[in-house]
Amino acid sequence: MDIDDLWKLTRFEHSIMLAVAVAVGEMITLRTFPQLYQFALSALPPMLVGAASFAINDYFDLESDRINRRADRPLVRGRTKPDIVFAISIFLFLVGTILSVLVNANCFLLTLLFSVLAYLYSFRLKDVAVAGNIYVASTMAIPFIYGGLAVSNQVPAAVLLLSSVAFVSGLAREVMGTARDVKGDKRGRGSRTLPMLIGVKNSLVVSSLLYVISILLSVIPYLYIPPYAGNIFYIIPVIIADAVFAYITLNSLREGSRKFMKRSRNLSLAAMFIALLGFLAALLK
């Protein structure tokens, strides 16, 4: 397994996004830049735990990924062995959790909680309708709150609102993801995800409604919440991201093919990253 395989195993681009979200939470709370050492120390735990979460998920999802023909997964391609992936994930969980002790008690508890939940999610929670989706969506929202708690005992309203936007859009993305993977999840894991209970088409309707809600929520900071109120550096990237979400919403209801859902997953991740850059850019103006 080379560096490229390790990156794909841990989906490290997500860890980078987590670090940016932590920076946003810290900067909103402090109303200034955190010290470089302070930021690096506080960002490492969620980055490592995030990487561990993807690795452990691939370990438990091997059979499902084979059925779904996920050739992008190193384990499916035979580029590494399951026991090596398991060892890597546990190592990253432990190092991330231990480092969080050096931040503060609140961050340690959050890191420990989400390390345990990440393992439980991959082991069984993923197979439970809605509950697994809510967990994954919460991992997209909690870094903002974690960042606030890394530098203060109180989390500002702006941080809570941004985390809400991230949660709702993340939940929309995950519901669509379970609709895409329904065949492999059912045969490979015996899952009972939302699409298996209400059908793929109805799940896409739920996903679309959630995207609409996230679009509406994303406008509120620009209208009312400092430092984003009237901030053009916030609203322009958010409009771009919302346009992508609107495109996914409209076309998922019209088309809804597995190919489109796969493309939408990549598009939604790109849109989230653009919005995240807007959250950060508005603080740097």
Domain boundaries, the chain: 3-284
Q: Yes or no: say if 29 and 151 are a contact pair by the CB < 8 Å rule.
A: yes
Instruction: Evaluate whether 85 touches 8 at the Cβ level (below 8 Å).
Output: no
Question: How do residues 41-53 score in pLDDT, each as one tens digit?
Answer: 999 999 999 999 9
Read off the DSSP letter of residue 178.
H
Give CA 204 to chain center in angstroms.
19
**Which residues, other chains included, contact 139 with Cβ-Cβ below 8 Å and sequence gap of 6+?**
50, 53, 114, 118, 170
Confidence of residue 285 (pLDDT cuts 50, 70, 90): low
The per-residue pLDDT for 10 is: 96
pLDDT at 256 over 70: no
CB atoms within 10 A of CB 200: 18
Q: Which fold has domain 3-284?
A: Tetracycline Repressor; domain 2 (1.10.357)
Could you tell me the CA-to-CA distances from 158 to 43, 104, 163, 164 in Å, in that order? 20, 22, 9, 10
**Of 127, 148, 117, nearest in space to 49 by CA:** 117
pTM of the predicted protein model: 0.91
Segment among 18-22, 238-242, 281-285 with least mean pLDDT: 281-285
Over residues 2-22, the mean pLDDT reads 93
- pLDDT tens digits for 211-223? 999 999 999 999 9
Question: Which of helix, strand or coil describes residue 128?
Answer: strand
Residue 126 has pLDDT above 90, yes or no: no
